[in-house]
Amino acid sequence: MNDHTTTRVALVTGGSGGIGRAVAERLAGDGIAVAVHYAGNRARADETVTAVTSAGGRAIAVSGDVADEHAMSAAFEAVEREFGGIDVVVNTAGVMHLAPIATLDLDELDRMHRTNIRGTFVVSQQAARRVRAGGAIINFSTSVTRLSFPTYGAYAASKGAVEAMTLVLARELRGRDITVNAVAPGPTPTPLFLQGKDQATIDNLAKAAPLERLGAPQDIAEVVAFLAGPARWINGQVLYANGGLV
């Protein structure tokens, strides 16, 4: 096992998903040991671990409901046991239900609140207690907090809460040499994004940005890698990664 003092360690929640997997692979490419967190899909998490290790990186899979503080405490402890500490926490785990505010099923509102708000809070709380000096905490918002697309009301509201707690945590960690930022992707073709959209909708979103394409998970992973490594003077910010859409 490598020297714990020289190897940076990252925990990526939702690491079996589209953006989460791209983030895990990108960070591993920078020499960071990666813990790939999953909630229910062990097979996809194992695929991400295999992709990292076959490319010469170090990775393990850890599981747990992000909204369950006991499960996440255990997940963080598992990472610390394996790799000796945690330097970077990237919280990509999230759920999205789209409907007009007038008709949204309130059970879906509660589900988004549990994963997107409580889950981000639980992960941020563990990160605030455990991340080592020189580290980074990176939460995930969405560009829809500015775009204000119809049917995104509840989802955008949950991500607005993520932005609020992210900016407060950056100030609460004064003196710890830990940056806290949020990444707000624009349209990115992941299963979460593609669900329920017809081709015309997808094409229109692709043309909306000046760069005239959708983002790729790797585009978002580049922003995370920047915040996780060299970007030590960016703190308490929301970075919009959307090709100029807003």
> Could you give the residue numbers annotated as active site?
155
Contact 48, 16 (CB under 8 A): yes
Contact 207, 180 (CB under 8 A): no
What residues contact residue 7 under an 8 Å CB cut-off, 6+ apart?
31, 32, 33, 58, 83, 84
Distance (Å, whole) CA 121 – CA 145: 18
Q: How far is CA 45 from CA 23, 26, 116, 159, in A?
A: 13, 15, 20, 24
| Token output for 77 | 């402890």
Distance (Å, whole) CA 126 – CA 89: 9
DSSP 187: S
Q: Which amino acid is at 102?
A: A
Helices 119-130 and 153-172, packing angle to 10 deg? 20
